[in-house]
Amino acid sequence: MFNLIDRFNKMDRLALSGLEDEVLVILDDDDGEPASVKVDMGSFTRLSRGYVSGLIAIDSSAIPIAYADRKWYLVFSAGVVLRSGGRYAPPHVFRVGPHLAEVGRREGEDQQGAARRLREYVEGSIMLEVLHSGALDDRALILVDGSLRGLSELDCSVARKMRTSLIGISKATKVVPSSMGSLPNGPGYSIISNDGCYTVTAARLEEYGVPLRIDTTDLEGLSSLLSSDVIVRGYPDSLRLAHYSSILSVSEEEAALASLAMHGAALSRPLERREALLGILKVRG
């Protein structure tokens, strides 16, 4: 598994295009939350510890920093954690980025929607790069933050052939089972849906752990996860470490804006609503 290390250090940055003389508007924060959809769950299946497997955990961060015309500009980074040898084996932590990305704007999509889309793309790309690399141990686990909705039938077929479990863990999700709050004490899961490629579950990874949406291509992989990673407050420690290593600093965000300017973009801050209505008062000092 550890011959994957060079791959994480050689990730290509996404190219910037068409920035010369572009006027980019710097974005403010927006904490909009997606709507919830309630579904019913089936019976609850208890989990016991399974095989000790090598695992790779992937998470990413993306911050929208500017927009122009129908394009978003974001700075992103990803954290990758390798753990092999059981729950208490020392993790190996890597960081991809920070890099800049140009993302086409979709109709009705806000900046946080663009950030979610970029995170899904980055995490999915790393997951598939690892899956198709041929460098995984037998019964390996690949964990990503979020769902597995971008998987193709080919990807699922490769995962089954290699006996690799792909596991997507969502801290927040549009799929909120009607009885999620009353999910029995874990560890265990209840199946929400199965499309033949992967199974969507509502699960607790420890007795009083937080209920999570967990997608997986192999339910036995959830048992292996309990033997292969430390579960902290119901959440895998390796994914937690991947998240922390992906966090972008203020200085990295500012450096990304400076990089846009160096590529020929003119940066402009939008007026706040109060300024737009009342005007900007300039005080002579």
Domain count, the chain: 1
- CATH number, domain of 162, equals 3.30.2170
**What pLDDT was estimated at residue 173?**
63
What is the domain extent for residue 88? Answer: 2-273
Tokens of 39: 């579904």
Q: Is residue 253 part of a domain?
A: yes
Angle at 95 between CA 13 and CA 226, to 5 degrees: 130
Which residues have CB under 8 Å from 236's CB, separation 6+? 57, 143, 169, 205, 225, 229, 230
Q: Is residue 279 part of a domain?
A: no
* One-letter amino acid of 198: Y
Which residues have CB under 8 Å from 179's CB, separation 6+? 40, 41
Q: Is residue 283 part of a domain?
A: no
**What pLDDT was estimated at residue 176?**
54
Helices (H), the chain: 5-9, 111-131, 153-161, 220-228, 237-246, 250-262, 273-278
Asked if 82 contacts 35 with a C-beta cutoff of 8 angstroms, the reply is no
Q: Is the dihedral of CA 96, 133, 149, 199 positive or negative?
A: negative
Query: Which pLDDT tens digits describe the chain residue by residue (285 residues)?
Result: 333 334 434 443 333 334 333 333 434 333 333 334 444 555 888 888 878 888 999 999 998 888 777 778 888 899 999 998 888 889 899 888 888 888 887 777 788 888 888 888 888 888 888 888 777 778 889 999 988 887 888 888 888 888 888 999 987 666 555 556 667 777 888 888 887 888 888 888 988 888 889 999 999 999 999 999 999 988 999 999 999 999 988 888 888 888 777 766 655 554 344 444 444 444 444
**What pLDDT was estimated at residue 269?**
55
Q: Is residue 172 part of a domain?
A: yes
Instruction: Name the pTM for this structure.
Output: 0.77
Q: Is residue 7 part of a domain?
A: yes
Q: Is residue 282 part of a domain?
A: no
Q: Is residue 285 part of a domain?
A: no
Q: How far apart are CA 126 and CA 81, in angstroms?
A: 12
**What pLDDT was estimated at residue 33?**
39
Which CA distances in Å does 175 have to 32, 139, 200, 205, 267? 17, 28, 10, 18, 38
* One-letter amino acid of 229: D
DSSP 21: T
Q: Is residue 278 part of a domain?
A: no
